Amino acid sequence: MSYLTVSISGCDVKEMSSRAVRAKSAGADLLELRADHIEGLDWEKAKHAIKSLLGTGLGLIVTCRDKSEGGAGDWSLEERIGILSAAAGKGARFIDCEYANFVRPGVREQITSALADNPDCRLILSAHNFEGPFDDLEGLRDEIKNEFPAAIPKLVYTASHINDCFAGMKLLEASSDELIVLAMGQAGMITRILAKKYGGFLTFASLSSVEATAPGQFEISEMKNLYRWDSINEKTELFGVIGDPVGHSLSPAVFNACFDSQGINGLYLPIQVQGAQREFDEFINNLVNSTDNGGFGFGGFSVTLPHKAHALEHVTRVGEFLEPLAGDIGAVNTLKLGIGGRVSGYNTDYAGAMGALCAVMGIEKHQLHQVSVAMVGAGGVGRAVIAGLAEVGAHVTIYNRTVEKAAALAEEFNCKYAGLDELEQMDAEVIINCTSIGMHPDVEASPVPKHCLKEGMTIFDTVYNPLETLLLEQAKAVGAKTVDGAEMFVRQAMAQFKLFTGQEADEDVMRKTVFGCLCG
Ligand code: NAP
């Protein structure tokens, strides 16, 4: 059991009580009373708050956090330990004392005497490092256990990079004793969810982002609804999108909805990997080098900007298998972790783009042979699209703002190129936008002059936010066939799902989730 805990702070008992009621209805297992936040704290106020929170029927942790470890208020050590000791006799299931204070003269005696009188109450001994990871996490856990074997050690540190999470995840996964390990901050967010998979005693969630009591807490509704908290167990297979940024990604909603509807024991997470090749390699190596525990349970990743080329480089150098097409495109957007932790790389953007285009044209891929295509853009998506078009012998001209990039891509794939200003003279049956022009918030922009759009043409915009870009709106108005970026997104995600799970994705659920996210 990993308790999903909502930490309740507030200036007064009324505010705390209403938060506690909301936490219960949101599905919390435990409440943590942050008594240090109560204005004018005294034992009467604390007692009132404990009674009120216990009124929810949920188990209660009481803490009165020391300012030096992230607490509020200037309460003396004596006041704080007095509140914890008294809370043990008032129905708290746990009291949480800073380990650094517990070992101070007199504190241990006071707390152990309170616990001896109230055997239903347990002690959490916590250590917080707001500066970064602990030097010796395991040593600290052992020290706490040696000091007071009945305590539940709670080790909380700040992660400034996702790679800081692995020490905590490793200790938690290897431990069979009751233990709490969490990483704070945006970079540590995944540890708050994965605590359940690795058997952590509890994790914390917030009621809302403004009510969070530590940096990096997810909202409890996200934990429950988006990140499948209730379904997670030690066998849950993990997936995620590696990128920077990843907060805007539709993929967690899409994959988790499919896992849910298809009864698959999987979880898909946003994984922000800051940095370049070195940090990317370090992230993968942290997984691969943990072969004894099967890569922490990760089975595969979607890869997005800026790591598609880093993923290709990594797989080329040390991977197990590289899909030849991904090598031709120069980008890996899907990684699969195999037995022994070795990675294989694929590209599903290509299949997504070709599938979307052929579906709207009502043709098979080979029928694109000798079809004239104007492709606008020469970035990552452009590379996937041109690889597909070149393979079937379409007649492509690449138009790009930076003409040198268009020229280099055209040379690689043996086609024509031009600057964006030459789009006016374009004569093509199909136009594909592979730039970010028209993407939110720049929704009044279109990469193609309106008068170039004609009835009978097919216009494909890879941008999916908004769903109907100005380009597509204008194309529809002249009677052209249109296809949006969401169609490509769904198709590439379906191909990834198959690679990850070996099963077909529920297309209906995927589409509904994508459109639900994009249409609000
Ligand atoms: P990228 O590698 O950064 O390439 C961006 C392209 O857009 C380059 O050709 C760039 O031209 C051009 N560009 C950007 N701003 C421009 C401007 N103001 N004026 C003219 N050209 C401009 O990005 P990417 O990964 O290829 O992604 C491109 C777009 O594809 C994204 O914005 C996204 O909307 C869409 N996308 C869709 C999917 C899907 O599944 N539907 C997946 C990924 C991406 P320069 O070379 O001159 O810089």
Domain ranges of the chain: 3-234, 240-347+491-507, 360-483
Query: ∠ at Cα 140 (135, 144), nearest 5°?
Result: 165
What tokens were used for 60?
């209660």
Rounded to an integer, what distance in angstroms lies between the CA atom of residue 41 and that of residue 46? 7
Please report the sign of the dihedral spanned by the C-alpha atoms of residue 349, residue 354, residue 355, residue 361. Answer: positive
Of 120, 117, 121, 83, nearest to 101 (Cα)?
83
Q: How many CB atoms lie within 10 A of CB 443?
A: 15
User: Residues 314-363: pLDDT tens digits?
Assistant: 999 999 999 998 999 999 999 999 877 789 999 999 999 999 999 999 99
Q: Which of 9-23, 250-264, 491-505 has the least mean pLDDT? A: 9-23
**Digit-coded pLDDT (tens) for 21-42:** 999 999 999 999 999 999 989 8
What is the distance between the alpha carbons of residues 231 and 263, in angstroms, rounded to a whole number? 10
Cβ(250) – ligand 1 distance below 6 Å: no
What pairing do the DSSP bridges indicate for beta strands 334-337 and 298-303? antiparallel
Ligand 1 pocket, mutate which of 302, 350, 398, 436 (most atoms under 8 A from CB): 436
Active site residues: 128, 154, 308, 349
Query: Residue 213 pLDDT more than 80?
Result: no
Long-range contacts: 509-513, Cβ < 8 Å, 24+?
509/257, 509/258, 509/261, 509/262, 510/254, 510/257, 510/258, 512/257, 513/250, 513/253, 513/254, 513/257, 513/258
- Measured in Å, residue 408 CA sits from the centre of ligand 1 at 16
Region 360-483: CATH code: 3.40.50.720
> Ligand 1: which of 381, 400, 420, 468 to mutate, most ligand atoms within 8 Å of CB?
381
**Whole-number pLDDT of residue 254:** 98
pTM summary value? 0.94
> How far apart are the C-alpha atoms of 64 and 38, rounded to whole Å?
10
Strands 343-346 and 334-337: antiparallel
The finding on whether 405 has its CB within 6 A of some atom of ligand 1 is: yes
Element (DSSP H or E) covering residue 75: none
Q: What is the mean pLDDT of the chain?
A: 95
CA of 187 to the centre of ligand 1 (A): 26
Given CATH 3.20.20.70, say whether it is the number of domain 3-234. Answer: yes
Containing 199, the helix (H) or strand (E) segment is none
Model confidence at 292: pLDDT above 60? no
| pLDDT higher than threshold 60 for residue 66 | yes
Average pLDDT, integer, range 72-96: 95
CATH topology of domain 240-347+491-507: Rossmann fold (3.40.50)
What is the best residue among 435, 491, 511 to mutate for testing ligand 1's pocket, by most ligand atoms within 8 Å of CB?
435
Does residue 290 have a pLDDT over 90?
no
Fold equal for 240-347+491-507 and 360-483: yes
Give the torsion through C-alpha atoms of 259, 260, 262, 263, to 10 deg. 100
Of 210 and 509, more confident: 509
437 lines ligand 1 (CB under 6 A): yes
Ligand 1, atom 41, residue with closest C-alpha: 485
Report yes or no: 164 and 187 within 8 Å, Cβ to Cβ.
yes
